[in-house]
Amino acid sequence: MTTLTGTAGAVRRRAGELPRSALVGAVVAVWVLLWIPLHGRATLALSTSELSPLHERLNDLRDAVNNTRGSSPVFSAFFDVIREAVDALTVFLQSLISQPAYGRPVPLIGWLGVVAVATLGAYAAGNLRVAVLTAAGFTSFGLLGFWQESMDTLALTLAAVLICLAIGIPLGIWAGLSDRLNRLLTPVLDFMQTMPTFVYLAPLTLFFLIGPASAVIATLVYSLPPVVRITAHGIRSVAPTSVEAGTSLGATRWQLLRTVRVPLAKRTIVLGVNQTVMCALSMVTIAALIDAPGLGQVVLRALQTLDVGTAFSAGLAIVIMAIVLDRVTTAARDRVETRYRLGPRARGRRRVLLAGLGVGTAVALYLSYTYVWAAYFPGPESGGVVGAQLATGVTDVTDWVQLHLGAVTDAIRNAISYGLLNPLQSLIAESPWYLVSAVVLAVAWIVAGPRIVPTAAVCLALLVGTGLWQEAMVTLSATLVATVIVMALGLVVGVWMGRSDRADGLVRPTLDAAQVMPAFVYLVPFLGLFGASRFTAIVAAVVFAAPVAIKLVADGVRGVPATVVEAATSSGSTAWQVITKVQLPLARQSVTLAANQGLIYVLSMVVVGGLVGAGALGYLVVAGFSQSDLYGKGLAAGVAVVLLGVLLDRTTQAAARRFDAGTRRGKDS
């Protein structure tokens, strides 16, 4: 009986699906037919140096703010208080671990002390394995020759993360309890995450001056949303039965929160902390543009002289820091659960080890406070023990690759550019704006249902309003091509990883590294391989976005019950049939989520793309940051990126939900 209804559902689903894809095909066909007579008309093109009245008005606004800075009491009362508090926290952390302080030529805690404290902390929060990893990771900063820079980066990241948690966790808990606040916060958080940092970097220094405060606040804007969102999600997903149990025992609202909701959501909240740490670290290089000290400075400097090797070793230090912090917070999250399950003997052993590490740390702290050898990381001043050799090696390898693979990479670039990107771009960017808008609305309706249409229409209207329609369309076409490549990689590698533990163990560390390695590090070799072009920007976006898509697909495939796969295999299905008929269809939800996240991650690389020849919105954002005349236009371009992000995100999410609901209805019937 179940098989019968199941099949019937599948048939109905297929029947319901066919017209949908056919409809999209028809819309595109009509579009192409209309493009032939209409192309080049009403494209709303604006040359790079031209400004629209809106852009000029934004410039004037900036000037007005600039001129009132200092004379207005609002500034001194409000912004200066915040700035001084943030500055004080950051400078305190720096004087602990990175900068000379209190009349000493070195910070209070030298390298030995920092390594010991970090190891102790990792063991206390997690387990022995991450403690060893932490000790090795922190020592490697010194071996790479970037001890002080790493500590500056760590101090800044810690300051930003501490403030994020102080604001984000209470806000997240509140948003978890109140639907109204949640609805209010969501667009604000979207805006904070998708608005390119370059847009608010220069205004930040207007409000908070040049100094640690501006760098920390720039980092904070980008890394606050995850902890708020994930905390709210955690509070929301506490099982209603647990809450009911609490209520029936007569607990007040506050008691419920303290004893039921927060403890049960703890695991999820720690995941939010983890994501916030990762986001904060990804801002290291960009914050360096407004004088944030640390590893980002090394990367930017190396970029000026195209010194790939040095940029790589500094980037490697950032990657190591990210991996250490990620593993420690993940272990801390798991400990939240396992703590209660430890037997008395294991608990005793743990206490002894903790006490031992504590004593060792106290000794290390004393030594690093008092003696030069424990304060300064030993080794040559520039390049450290292994950093210089590593840098030279990396430079040699990239030089060789650029010299010998140039012909191949040119061919790849030309094939994708002429074969896919140029036709798509001329279809999207050279159609009249009303035609593209109509097509977008029609496609959104077909794939995501009528409820998405108002949102999409508002986004499109605002895009026209930014005065950068054609630029946005050029960016959109490159984004679509990059997303297609990301999804192709996501499916191939994700399925491979999902089906094989060995593949997973092999590939996952590379994915982690690709996600946290600052894009600035690999831009130079990519430029060498593909030249300054839109394709280089696409490759950079793929490197950043593919890991997320791959991981999501892999998790989805892994989540398919083993019994189902075994049943299919035993009934004589080939591996290909198992993948296409069983594993991927059952992992659909993960695949659609991967597509959504892939798109958003690609979009977050638009600005980096602008640095390597993608032009369009990304270039305008960068130019707006560095040319005062173009400030307003850059701001408008940033808003256009946000609008594209909202449009694509809402549409794919609604499509996924609808798809999902359809599948479930099919199953239930």
Gap between the Cα atoms of 308 and 388, Å rounded: 12
Residue 558's contacts (CB-CB under 8 Å, 6 or more residues apart) are 498
Q: How far is the CB of 624 from another protein (least distance, A)?
A: 8
Binders of another protein among residues 417 to 456 (CB under 8 A) are 417-418, 421-422
Contact (CB, 8 A) for 171 and 227? no
Q: Which helix (H) or strand (E) holds 148?
A: helix 147-177
Q: Where are the alpha helices (DSSP H) in 98-146?
A: 111-125, 128-143
Binders of another protein among residues 605 to 664 (CB under 8 A) are 610-615, 618-619, 622-623, 625-629
Contact (CB, 8 A) for 82 and 323? no
Asked if residue 377 binds another protein (CB under 8 A), the reply is no
Q: Which C-beta is closer to another protein: that of 68 or that of 574?
A: 68
Q: Which residue has the tokens 């070793």?
A: 313
Q: Which C-beta is closer to another protein: that of 168 or that of 467?
A: 467
Q: How far is the CB of 290 from another protein (least distance, A)?
A: 6
Gap between the Cα atoms of 567 and 572, Å rounded: 9
Q: Which amino acid is at 257?
A: L
Q: How many CA atoms lie within 13 A of 301 on its CB side?
A: 12
Contact (CB, 8 A) for 236 and 262? no
Residue 57's contacts (CB-CB under 8 Å, 6 or more residues apart) are 632
Q: Which C-beta is closer to another protein: that of 414 or that of 510?
A: 414
Gap between the Cα atoms of 545 and 210, Å rounded: 32
Binders of another protein among residues 555 to 584 (CB under 8 A) are none
Q: How far is the CB of 527 from another protein (least distance, A)?
A: 4
Asked if residue 527 binds another protein (CB under 8 A), the reply is yes
Q: How far is the CB of 406 from another protein (least distance, A)?
A: 6
Q: How far is the CB of 202 from another protein (least distance, A)?
A: 6
Q: Which residue has the tokens 């919105």?
A: 617
Binding part of the chain for another protein, among 181-189, 282-290, 312-320, 579-587 by CB under 8 A, reads 282-290
Binding part of the chain for another protein, among 290-298, 335-343, 349-357, 552-560 by CB under 8 A, reads 290-298
Q: How far is the CB of 419 from another protein (least distance, A)?
A: 10
Q: Choose which of 17, 63, 179, 244 interacts with another protein (CB under 8 A).
A: 63
Q: Which C-beta is closer to another protein: that of 259 or that of 382?
A: 382
Binders of another protein among residues 210 to 239 (CB under 8 A) are 210-211
Asked if residue 191 binds another protein (CB under 8 A), the reply is no
Asked if residue 297 binds another protein (CB under 8 A), the reply is yes
CB atoms within 10 A of CB 88: 13
Q: How far is the CB of 87 from another protein (least distance, A)?
A: 12
Binders of another protein among residues 350 to 369 (CB under 8 A) are 369
Asked if residue 303 binds another protein (CB under 8 A), the reply is yes
The length of the chain in residues reads: 669
Binding part of the chain for another protein, among 175-183, 350-358, 496-504, 520-528 by CB under 8 A, reads 520-528
Contact (CB, 8 A) for 189 and 646? no
Gap between the Cα atoms of 495 and 492, Å rounded: 6
Q: Choose which of 95, 127, 186, 402 interacts with another protein (CB under 8 A).
A: 402
Asked if residue 270 binds another protein (CB under 8 A), the reply is no
Q: How far is the CB of 447 from another protein (least distance, A)?
A: 31
Binding part of the chain for another protein, among 2-10, 156-164, 199-207, 476-484 by CB under 8 A, reads 199-207
* DSSP letters spanning 434-464: HHHHHHHHHHHHHHH-GGGHHHHHHHHHHHH
Asked if residue 534 binds another protein (CB under 8 A), the reply is yes
Binders of another protein among residues 79 to 118 (CB under 8 A) are 100, 103-106
> Taking the mean position of all CA atoms in its chain, how far away is CA 115?
28
CB atoms within 10 A of CB 549: 31
Q: Which C-beta is closer to another protein: that of 370 or that of 669?
A: 370
